Amino acid sequence: MGGGAGCQCASCPQPVTCAPAPTCAIPLPCPSATDYAVPAAPVESQYQARKGSYQQVFPVVQPVPAPVPIAPPQQNAPNVPRNVIDSFRALQSAISASHKSCEDYFHQRSIVIHGIPELPTNALPSERQADVEARVSDVFDALGVEARPWAVFRMGKMSETRPRLTKVILYSRSQFFAILEKARSLRQMSNYEHIFIRASLTEAERRREYDLRKEVRDRNQLLGHKQFVVYRGEIVKRFIPRKQRKISWNVYPRHILNLMEQRNRLFSQLDDPLTSDKYRNISEELEKHIKKFRAFKDKKLSRMSSQSLFAYMRPLLNEQNASQTIYDDDGTKYRTEQEKAEVLAHYFASIFRTGQ
């Protein structure tokens, strides 16, 4: 029996259209002959009653409502200007980058002191701690730095041969820099000349410092003297001039003066210096350096102002300073050309003799 189609029973002489079947697909019985006497309204109410009983037995499942979409966090955020959010994020990243952990924060304010005496092993721990704190305070007083350490403690195992290192954690970076700046002055104090203060280093920093010191030591050994040092994690020369040295054109450089002294010494020591290869080599080397110095001087003078050029040429135009002064063994000076010629003639006459 299908819903909505005509049905024919043995007891009913006329076909009757049945009502549509409910969604549960359960067949309904055909109406009997007595049912024809019932008006249409009661039939419909009877159907509604039966439908309600079916729904009680087989409840209709209601569809699940669609989930409500959740807005992203930026849409639910309060109305904050964009520049404020960017500034806050920049500040947050700067803070997290500067202090990655609590250890880094304290590491930037920590120093290590070498050479502070230590009480014997039979002393009480409280006595040793009080002693090292008092000695650290004495060192700070000697440096003239007002600093109260946040923590003071010894590092490593106790030894009877030498005292352990002392680590000091300070409250501020200003105290940290003030102590390191004045630590070198302890070498001039008789009571603290054996104490050395440095910044606390990590294992990687200590390895790098060791490599730098080794490289500096190798360089200085090749040069034969101490020229390079380690300064702030870099290798630099020991003496760095603050200002460029002014060149005096009236005086030869030191290397030319040394060659002149060496040539004069050979001239006075050798019996026949003009035939000596060593004297000839020194003379050629000296002449080469003098030519190089004069070429460099002319190049610099061409770039000078007229006032500086005249100041340089004025003493050269003087007759007494135009030529080099000659000195004899007694220290007498000969400036003019006539005086020089007479003293040179007397000198050559005393050395060279005419053949008999």
Last residue of a domain, one of 241, 260, 293: 241
Among 91-100, 149-158, 335-344, 346-355, name the one with the lowest average pLDDT.
91-100
Question: Sign of dihedral through CA atoms 333, 338, 343, 344?
Answer: positive
118, 164 Cβ separation under 8 angstroms: yes
On whether the CB atoms of residues 301 and 309 are closer than 8 A, the answer is yes
Q: For the residues 124-140, what does the mean pLDDT come to?
A: 93
pLDDT mean across residues, the chain: 76
Instruction: Please report whether residue 15 resides in a domain.
Output: no
Whole-number Cα distances in Å, 28 to 47, 49, 126: 10, 13, 100
* 72 in any annotated domain: no
Same-domain check for residues 121 and 173:
yes
Who's near 312: CB < 8 A, 6+ residues apart?
249, 301, 304
Over the stretch 72-116, which tens digit does the pLDDT of each residue have? 555 555 577 888 888 888 877 766 665 566 777 888 899 999 999
Query: Residue 12: helix, strand or coil by DSSP?
Result: coil
What does the alpha-carbon distance between residue 66 and residue 196 come to, in Å, rounded to a whole number? 75
For residue 168, count other CB atoms closer than 10 A to its CB. 26
Both 255 and 295 in a single domain?
A: yes
Residues 110 and 148 in one domain: yes
Alpha-carbon span 47 to 17, nearest angstrom: 14
Residue 27: φ, ψ to 5°: -70, 140
The confidence score (pLDDT) of residue 98 equals 57
User: What was the pLDDT predicted at 327?
Assistant: 76
Mark whether 137 and 181 lie in a shared domain.
yes
Q: Could you report the per-residue pLDDT of 134-169, keeping only the tens digit for each?
A: 999 999 999 999 988 999 999 988 888 889 999 999
- Which residues, at least 6 apart from 226, have a Cβ–Cβ distance to it below 8 Å? 220, 238
Q: Classify residue 291: in a domain, yes or no.
A: yes
Can you spell out the DSSP letters for 238-257? Answer: S---SSPPPPPTTS--HHHH
CA distance 170 to 167: 10
Domain residue limits at 115: 102-200
Residue 109 identity (one-letter amino acid): R
Q: Are 106 and 179 part of one and the same domain?
A: yes
pLDDT at 58 over 60: no
Question: What pLDDT is stored for residue 3 in this prediction?
Answer: 45
Kindly state whether residues 193 and 108 are assigned to the same domain: yes
Radius of gyration of the chain (CA): 54
Q: Please give the average per-residue pLDDT across 216-237, as a whole number.
A: 83
Q: Which two tokens stand for residue 191?
A: 């009571």
Read off the DSSP letter of residue 305: -
CA 28 to chain centre: 91
Q: Which residue has the tokens 């500067």?
A: 98
User: In this predicted model, which residue has the larger pLDDT, 146 or 59?
Assistant: 146
195, 207: one domain = no
Distance (Å, whole) CA 54 – CA 24: 8
Whether residue 131 lies inside any domain: the answer is: yes
Counting runs of H as helices and runs of E as strands, what totals does the chain give?
A: 12, 10
Q: Are residues 188 and 236 in the same domain?
A: no
The answer to whether residue 52 is domain-embedded is no
| Residues across the chain | 356
How many structural domains are present in the chain? 4
Quick one: 206 and 163 in the same domain?
Answer: no
114 in any annotated domain:
yes
Q: Would you say residue 180 has pLDDT above 60? A: yes
Q: In this structure, is residue 207 part of a structural domain? A: yes
Interior CA angle at 220 toward 193 and 286, to 5°?
Answer: 125
According to the model, what pLDDT value does residue 2 have?
Answer: 44
pLDDT for the residue 52: 57
More confident residue, 114 or 311: 114
pLDDT tops 60 at residue 345: yes
Domain annotation covers residue 301: yes
Whether residues 333 and 294 share a domain: the answer is no
Residues 221, 180: one domain? Answer: no
Task: Examine the domain organization and report whether 175 and 192 are in the same domain.
Answer: yes
Judged against a pLDDT cut of 70, whether residue 47 lies above it is answered with: no
Q: Strand runs (DSSP E) across the chain, as ranges?
A: 6-7, 16-17, 110-114, 151-155, 165-169, 196-199, 228-231, 234-237, 326-327, 333-334
pLDDT, average across residues 286-294: 89
